[in-house]
Amino acid sequence: MDDNSINNLKEALKFSPDNIPLRQHLADVLLKANRLDEAEEEYLHLLKLTSDNKTKVGLAHVFYQKEAYSKCIVILEEVIEGGFEDFDALILYARALMREQSIASAIDIYQRALELNPAFRDEELDQELRQANVPAEEAPADSIESRFVQKPSVNFNDVGGMENVKKEIELKIIKPLAHPELYKAYGKKIGGGILLYGPPGCGKTFIAKATAGQVNARFISVGLNDILDMWIGNSEKNLHQIFEVARQNAPCVLFFDEIDALGASRSDMKQSSGRHLINQFLQELDGIDNSNDGVLVLGATNTPWHLDAAFRRPGRFDRIIFVPPPDATARESIFQLKLKGKPTEAVDYKSLAKKLESYSGADIEAVIDIAIEEKLESSFTDGIPKPIKTADLVNASKKHKASTQEWFATAKNFALFANDAGLYDDILSYLKIKK
């Protein structure tokens, strides 16, 4: 709008000074024309006549343009905390907070704005918040490194039972790493990941970590929230960076826990951002742009049926392994492993293990924990540690029930009615159901 029209508006207002919409219009036009002093004057005048949120946000805009960020923040804080959920106001608020170095609040508000308009990206805000979120001299890759890269001290000896799983991992992951030339000689492609699935607490996460320890490699464990939360927006970039850190740290085990959250059936993903993330993940897995040599990919899920089928293509998670609850022998060795170095006396591991049908490794850990707590209590009186006996563990097991049955109730239905290509046959044979 040119100066002439602005003058006309001003003239008109002289005749009807209390016309609120007209004055609001003039103020907005002045703001757009960057005539900030005049705009401020008009907004202030308006606020004597009305307490409209739009007017307040207009004034906040003026203050922002004048670099009076704290004044801008005071107004927007009142407006927004008062319940005015306006996208523009939130974006402006986030920007002002960022200018005042209130980074955490700025991220918070920016996320609220994105909830109102998920497709929106403010490149500048995105960029600056992401940079501001990282200590100045630290490159993002370094912070990922220190946050995610571990050097596990457990190996296969610490894992009770799971002989099948160990064998698969050996064949698919460990051997190729040790003898790449043999695989090459037969033209056998190395790569692809293993997906572990099964009831909770049965050692999926644990064996992934032990795999890294077994080959003396680094371990990078990632949950979906790590990717989504690291900074706002740009989850795809975060995912790429994690893969890059893994490549730089090869040989390493890159483990995606609860991967179903990431690979949730694409049709379920209402937001396009979810689809982008999946596609990015598949691209990274395929290692098209960057080689994944020496990066051993493992994934775990309790709900494999929620995983997009694209994840199971060759070269991706092309081995799907069922991790069942430990059998009696495995339970026995888990008890022994977990009680090692603790005061015990004549524990009958065999009979104990036999009694605890359906108990997971995590359940066994809980049982031991309860037994120890009770022993501790009775040791306080004389200060002498009393040894844990079979009866203590049996008693403790009455206070902690097995937790795996519930999972099978659901899994059974998928194994019976959605068993593409015999994917879940292992569940059926575990339950002794004939096809």
Ligand X SMILES: Nc1ncnc2c1ncn2[C@@H]1O[C@H](COP(=O)(O)OP(=O)(O)O)[C@@H](O)[C@H]1O
**Segment contacting ligand X by CB under 6 A, of 51-59, 98-106, 122-130, 198-206:** 198-206
Q: Tell me, what DSSP letter sits at residue 404?
A: S
Plot region of 388 (φ>0 → left; ψ -120 to 50 → alpha; else → beta) = beta
Instruction: Give the residues across from 320 on adjacent strands.
Output: 195
User: Among 58, 176, 191, 203, which residue interacts with ligand X (rule: CB under 6 A)?
Assistant: 203
Cβ distance to Mg ion smaller for residue 24 or 205: 205
Write down the least CB distance from residue 323 to Mg ion, Å. 10
Residues with Cβ within 8 Å of residue 75, at least 6 apart in sequence? 56, 57, 59, 60, 63
Cβ distance to Mg ion smaller for residue 252 or 300: 300
- Residue 408 parent element (H or E): helix 405-417
CA pair distance 8, 311, nearest whole angstrom: 64
Q: Does 326 bind ligand X (CB under 6 A)?
A: yes
Considering only residues 197-256, where is the footprint of Mg ion by CB under 5 A?
204-205
Residues for the chain: how many in total?
435
Write down the least CB distance from residue 355 to Mg ion, Å. 25
Count residues binding ligand X (CB under 6 A): 19
User: Among 79, 97, 300, 368, which residue interacts with ligand X (rule: CB under 6 A)?
Assistant: 300
Q: Which amino acid is at 411?
A: A
Write down the least CB distance from residue 321 to ligand X, Å. 12
Cis peptide bond prior to 140, omega within 30° of 0: no
Q: Does 337 bind ligand X (CB under 6 A)?
A: yes
Partner in contact with 176, chosen from Mg ion, ligand X, none, beta carbon below 5 to 8 Å by kind: none
Partner in contact with 203, chosen from ligand X, Mg ion, none, beta carbon below 5 to 8 Å by kind: ligand X
Count residues binding Mg ion (CB under 5 A): 2
Q: Does 299 bind ligand X (CB under 6 A)?
A: no
Residues with Cβ within 8 Å of residue 251, at least 6 apart in sequence? 177, 215, 217, 218, 294, 295, 296
Interface residues toward ligand X, by CB under 6 A: 159-162, 200-206, 300, 326, 330, 334, 337, 361-362, 365
